[in-house]
Amino acid sequence: MSQRPIYLDCHATTPVDRRVLEAMLPYFTEHFGNPASINHVYGWEAEAAVKQARETLAKAIGATPEEIVFTSGATEANNLAIKGVAEAYFSKGRHIITLQTEHNAVLDPCHYLRSLGFDITFLPVRSDGLIDLQQLETAFRPDTILVSVMAANNEIGVLQPLKEIGSLCRQHSILFHTDAAQAIGKIPLDVEELKIDLLSLTAHKIYGSKGIGCLYVRRRDPRVKIAPQIHGGGHERGMRSGTLSTPHIVGLAKAVELALAERESESQRLTQLRQHLWQQMSQLPGIHLNGHPEQRLPGNLNISVEGVDGAALLLALQPVVAVSSGAACSSTKTTPSHVLMALGRNERLAYASIRFGIGRFNSLEEIDRVAQHAISAISSLRQPSAIGCS
């Protein structure tokens, strides 16, 4: 059997940590009760596990357990936050602000709301991917009800200035939502300090299982109202109906607990691996770093490569390393990454990009092997006169 490629796509998903799996397993077969079944021991066991998980997650972001609403993941949490606020506050205003570089789980709900008559401002970003705070404040209007800015970008890893954004929103009495799917467990997140009103999380970016996430919804100063998007049963205090998946909720809490416990040491290790990879890749001419060089996730390296075809580059890399391109693909068409285009990259560079997502189980030896193969592949694909003309 041929050796599997080295996995460096940890912004797409991560393997479930065995410690997380071990915490989940009893709730599939032994403690399998429905946490809403409050008349017998099976339900009590599940309810207790969910309560403990809720407390763990709340503590991780400086919230209270009652402010945690479980969802199927960050996509649903983003939809619940954005559409839920829009519906609950439409009599106050119909203007929402977000960034051009947001994940589609934010952009698509905003486009949907625009079709219903809401006014959406999609702010540009600077060439390093960071928001222009003055431009944000200038965009505020009396009818602005929500600002949605992701904590850490899923493609270029850029960390937005959440504290400054939160302060501006609070000064103008505008709700602030952040998609923290890529950020939880990797950077400090305190909803009180950062003045965040809604925050989306998911498990599978931090070595938990797919299909589980949560939304933090502030209960005081201010008390945030959201209209439910899923009805039927009144679960999660009426904000999100559906039987809670106890094993996945337990796994989400365990994944967050582990990530927080190991954050400082892991951040230092991943930063070193990222810098080591960048030092080797940047020796080649025509290699462009996408995003701020320092204000980014520890394990993220996103580069654009001059003088190569993007599809050919990914194909050449596949035998040795599993990575993503900056291009967003669908079943019917391929378009250049909207994130890289927003940074000012031309289409050729946007197509010829590589997102390296280094994770918990990667080693220095793997990074060296990937760098050597990538440099060799790029050199082989390039024409002698290709550099500087893309």
- Residue 280 dihedral angles phi and psi, to the nearest 5°: -75, -45
Q: Domain 263-381 - what CATH class?
A: alpha beta
Which amino acid does the sequence have at 100? Q
pLDDT at 390 (0 to 100): 47
Asked if 266 and 239 touch (Cβ cutoff 8 Å), the reply is: no
End-to-end CA distance of the chain: 39
Q: Where are the alpha helices (DSSP H) in the chain?
A: 18-24, 26-29, 41-61, 74-88, 104-115, 133-139, 162-171, 246-261, 263-281, 310-317, 338-342, 347-351, 364-381
Residue 373 pLDDT: 97
Structural domain boundaries of the chain?
Answer: 18-261, 263-381
Compute the distance between CA of residue 157 and CA of residue 225 in angstroms, rounded to an integer. Answer: 30
The predicted-structure confidence for 191-210, as pLDDT tens digits, reads as follows 999 999 999 999 999 999 99
Which CATH number describes the domain made up of 18-261?
A: 3.40.640.10
Confidence of residue 326 (pLDDT cuts 50, 70, 90): low
The residue from 10, 214, 329, 389 that is catalytic is 329
Question: What's residue 330's pLDDT?
Answer: 37
Which tens digit of pLDDT belongs to each residue from 93-141? 999 999 999 999 999 999 999 999 999 999 999 999 999 999 999 999 9
Quick one: average pLDDT of 361-383?
95
Closest among 31, 40, 79 to 250, alpha carbons compared:
31
Contact 224, 85 (CB under 8 A): yes
The 10 Å CB-count burial string (b at 16+, else e) for 122-131 is bbebeebbbb
Beta pairing, strands 95-99 & 119-123: parallel
Q: Mean pLDDT: which of 32-41, 160-169, 381-390 is highest?
A: 160-169
Are 18-261 and 263-381 the same fold in CATH? no
Q: What pLDDT was estimated at residue 384?
A: 63
Active site residue 329: yes
**Cβ atoms within 10 Å of 385's Cβ, excluding its own:** 8
